[in-house]
């Protein structure tokens, strides 16, 4: 846990620095500001540039950042289709584990725009929590995805590319590794197709498993994984329920457009 009092002076100086530009929202969450500062060793210029890029990205790709009501029909529908959780316990290297899996394989219910919209809601909510990880390890379970799922995603290619860019270039967080497990041949082909839209650093930390994924445990100890994935933490279903309850408490914050728009 971060003791914000230790960083009060740093945060206040950064707030005053941002105020001078007269384009940033007022009352920006202090933990969020601290995340940007820590990304660049408290360099105000670089932190400001990333924060501004984040907000401009949202304006450029509004489809991914509208209808952010956690209790909307659209959000609740995607929660029944795709499950996304953050493991609360950080690794010894201070890394946070996130896991995503398909819960309902019915292609008619699969909406990639709504899926990323919800993922970004969880990112924005999580950025206000004062447990700041040094990086993120993502586990994406590809079990259940068919060619029809991937064709549906390809039809939204411009939005898909934007959604891939956002966590790579616009977040005050570092993605250290991506592990794709239970990959079918068509899933592998899809991942090859989107490789050009990934940073070199992301590709270097990309691991694809087509059958068994025992090697995963060399990167993530079992104590940080759900029971369903050979871990000892707790069940994925329990984690998902807790995750949904937790993120729902940030509904007013994430749906308030004033928090995410430049004053221009």
Domain residue extents for the chain: 65-251
Condensed to tens digits (0 to 9), the pLDDT of residues 152-180 reads: 999 999 999 999 999 999 999 999 999 99
pLDDT of 264 above 90: no
Residue 82 has a pLDDT of: 95
Condensed to tens digits (0 to 9), the pLDDT of residues 68-108 reads: 999 999 999 999 999 999 999 999 999 999 999 999 999 99
Residue 88 has a pLDDT of: 93
Mean residue pLDDT across the chain: 95
Residue 32 has a pLDDT of: 97
Residue 115 has a pLDDT of: 95
Residue 252 has a pLDDT of: 96
Condensed to tens digits (0 to 9), the pLDDT of residues 207-225 reads: 999 989 999 999 999 999 9
| CA dist., res. 104 & res. 36, Å (int) | 36
Condensed to tens digits (0 to 9), the pLDDT of residues 40-50 reads: 999 999 999 99
Residue 4 has a pLDDT of: 87
Residue 73 has a pLDDT of: 92
> How far apart, in Å, are the Cα atoms of 127 and each of 29, 160, 180, 234?
9, 22, 24, 24
Condensed to tens digits (0 to 9), the pLDDT of residues 7-20 reads: 999 999 999 999 99
**Domain 65-251 falls under CATH 3.20.20.70:** no
Q: Angle at Cα 70 formed by Cα 69 and Cα 74, nearest 5°? A: 80
pLDDT of 1 above 80: no
Condensed to tens digits (0 to 9), the pLDDT of residues 183-203 reads: 999 999 999 999 999 999 999
Residue 253 has a pLDDT of: 96
Residue 125 has a pLDDT of: 95
Q: Residue 7 corresponds to which tokens in the numbers above?
A: 């960083």
Q: Residue 154 corresponds to which tokens in the numbers above?
A: 């390809």
Count of other CB atoms within 10 angstroms of residue 190: 20
Beta pairing class for 82-86 and 95-102: antiparallel
Residue 262 has a pLDDT of: 97
């Amino acid at each position: 846990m971060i003791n914000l009092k230790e960083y009060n002076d740093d945060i206040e100086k950064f707030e005053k620095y941002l105020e001078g530009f007269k384009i940033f929202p007022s009352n920006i969450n202090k933990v969020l500001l601290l995340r940007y500062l820590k990304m660049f060793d408290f360099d105000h210029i670089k932190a400001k540039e990333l924060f501004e890029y984040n907000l401009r990205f949202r304006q450029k790709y509004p489809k991914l950042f509208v209808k952010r009501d956690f209790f909307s029909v659209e959000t609740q529908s995607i929660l029944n289709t795709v499950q996304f959780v953050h493991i609360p316990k950080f690794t010894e290297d201070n890394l946070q584990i996130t896991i995503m899996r398909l819960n309902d394989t019915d292609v008619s219910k699969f909406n990639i725009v709504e899926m990323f919209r919800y993922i970004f809601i969880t990112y924005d909510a999580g950025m206000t929590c004062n447990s700041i990880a040094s990086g993120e390890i993502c586990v994406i379970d590809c079990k259940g995805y068919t060619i029809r799922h991937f064709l549906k995603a390809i039809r939204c290619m411009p939005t898909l590319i934007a959604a891939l860019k956002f966590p790579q270039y616009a977040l005050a967080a570092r993605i250290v590794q991506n592990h794709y497990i239970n990959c079918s041949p068509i899933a592998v082909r899809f991942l090859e197709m989107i490789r050009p839209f990934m940073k070199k650093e992301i590709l270097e930390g990309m691991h694809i498993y087509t059958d068994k994924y025992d090697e995963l445990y060399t990167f993530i100890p079992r104590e940080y994984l759900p029971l369903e994935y050979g871990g000892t933490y707790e069940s994925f279903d329990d984690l998902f329920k807790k995750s949904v309850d937790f993120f729902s408490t940030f509904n007013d914050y994430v749906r308030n457009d004033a928090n995410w728009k430049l004053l221009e």
